[in-house]
Structure 1
Amino acid sequence: MRVLALDFDGVVCNSAREVFTAAVHTYGCLDPSSRVVQATLTHARPFATELDLSSAPAFTDFTQLMPLGNRAEDYGVALRAMDLGLALPDQGAYDDFYRSFDPSWLQRFHAAFYEVRDRLRADHLESWLALHAGYPPFPSFLERAAARCRLAVATARDAASLDVLLVHLGVAALIPQKSRLDKETGVHKTDHLSALAHRLGVPFDQITFVDDKVNHLERVAPLGVRPVLAGWGHNTPREHARATALGFEVAQLDALDAVLLDGV
């Protein structure tokens, strides 16, 4: 039976508000004088939840940079670029800026981000959960898909929050524990898909991998998996055009079965 492997954030879950909120608090720990952090934390949010910072103007700029990153430390890179007023219009410009960082700073941000996320989840669980939303047609699609293929999640998210959120979104029963590959699996999605193929005993050409980041799809394509961009996720028309140019299919929420279950 074929495998449908899904990235989590931006595919199963719209978590942009939570990511931004946790990233701003993390960046504030490392650089309390940050212009973006100060403006975001002081921005009036009368209708937002206890934690939600996404009403701040910086949220829009942040979501434009999210698709160019890979892991938690990239959120710090994005906020630094915003602080400096840098335009990073494409993957090449972003990668050049990323390489200018001291690796130790990136490691500190990575570790601090998960500490902040854990604290927000532990101290404000209901408000934290409210920062995450599903994509309305997707849960029913997963129920149909589970009858035709094996489902898996390959994510850079930590296991604790992944498990809680799968329950929150109502899809935990569809994805077995052994098919949930979290950030401890490896740095790149090639690590996740290699581990998944080994666990389930399937060749790469029997795996369809759905991610909202083109740079992830570019990395895994040489494995022989079928890469598909989630056109509804944390990406922009810039990524849709790049995916199409690279020969990757772009799935949309109004045509999930036709693309993702093709050949299953």
Structure 2
Amino acid sequence: MNAARILALDFDGVICDGMAEYWQTAWRTYTQVWQLDRLEPSPGVAEKFRELRPLIEVGWEMPVLIRALTLGISTERMQSSWQRIRDRILADGRLSGVKVSQQLDAVRDSWIAQDPGSWLGLHQFYPGVIDLLKDLPNRKIQAVIITTKESRFVTQLLAEQGVELASEFVWGKELKRSKTDSLKQILDRGTKKPPTVWFVEDRLSTLAKIATQPELEAVKLYLAEWGYNTPAERESALGQSRIQTLSLADLPTLGGTPKKAAASKSETSDTVDLVS
């Protein structure tokens, strides 16, 4: 990767809002993993799932979250100790994250093969993001997608929107590499001058972990306010010096405001300078 300026983006909650697809895929996977006959969830489960989606770091956790909800575990308990609850549910079912992940991907693959139109239709891209991805080459900025989703799903969704990214710029969970390590790899090019890197992510815990890494001090970190996070997390981010909150309207200003979207000095005098 030889780009001098790189905009690294998470996919779910930053580029694409796939909440409707997440729910449907997670529910189908849940009924298969726990071998249930019922085809419809209990009232309120879908709404609670959406509310607690910010807890999820990796996709395979979604069916486990549904399991926790059907077991009656409270929202408060899950918010305070989700990982412990998640691991207990796996242990009780003699399951592993790998097994649930494989089942989840199989459900998606089967759905895409049988009815690609309905699967694609459940994904909504955030306003302006696709136009931004198409415009980045004109601004000499390379986009890199760093996600816990399988790359093949990301590539298919972007292609449907007319965005063609080479596989070397879509880093999915199949690489088995943390986002921290992915950013280190971007910086470690063996050259004297590393690239300028902006990273936009909607999980505060991920950004906080990256912020502790001295090797990544040069990476500019942004919490996507429009993504899967809570008001409390956005408020917490304001107190962390390495992390800036970012609105969807300000996303295109990373790397310099495009001329067509440039605002007057008076309109931007009180905003955060996002240009390197």
TM-score by length of 1: 0.81
Aligned to 2:264: none
* Number of equivalences: 246
Unaligned runs of 5+ in 2: 257-273
Quick one: which of 81, 85, 102 aligns to 1:111? Answer: 102
Amino acid at match of 1:20: W
Residue 77 (structure 1) shift: 2.6
Could you tell me which residue of structure 2 aligns to residue 31 of structure 1? 34
For residues 150 and 211 of structure 1, the distance between their equivalents in structure 2, rounded to whole angstroms, comes to 17
| Alignment equivalent of 1:9, drawn from 1, 9, 12 | 12
Alpha-carbon offset, residue 259 of structure 1: 5.3
Report percent identity of matched pairs: 27
Superposed, 1:50-129 pairs within 5 Å as 57-89=44-76, 92-100=80-88, 101-102=90-91, 104-129=95-120
TM-superposition CA deviations, 1:74-122 (whole Å, max 9, x none) = 1123112211222244754212323423284322211100111111111
Partner residue in 2 for 1:53 = none
CA distance in 2 between counterparts of 1:20 and 1:10 reads 14
Which residue is equivalent to 2:266? none
Q: Distance in 1 between matches of 2:161 and 2:245?
A: 23
Q: Secondary structure at the match of 1:245?
A: coil
Partner Cα distance (2:233, 2:56) in 1: 12
Alignment correspondent of 1:151: 143
Equivalent of 2:175 in 162, 185, 190:
185
Q: Which residue does the alignment assign to 2:161? A: 169
After TM superposition, give the deviation of residue 219 of structure 1 in Å: 2.3
Compute the displacement of 1:257 (Å).
3.3
Per-residue CA deviations over 1:152-184 (Å, capped at 9, x if unaligned) read 101111122111111112322xx3332111111
Task: Verify the 8 A CA contact 1:6 1:152 in the aligned structure 2.
Answer: yes
Cα offset, 1:63, TM superposition: 1.9
- The equivalent of 2:129 in structure 1 is 138
The Cα RMSD (Å) is: 2.7
* Pair 1:31–1:104, CA change in 2 (3 A): closer
- Structure 1, unmatched stretches of 5+, are 44-55
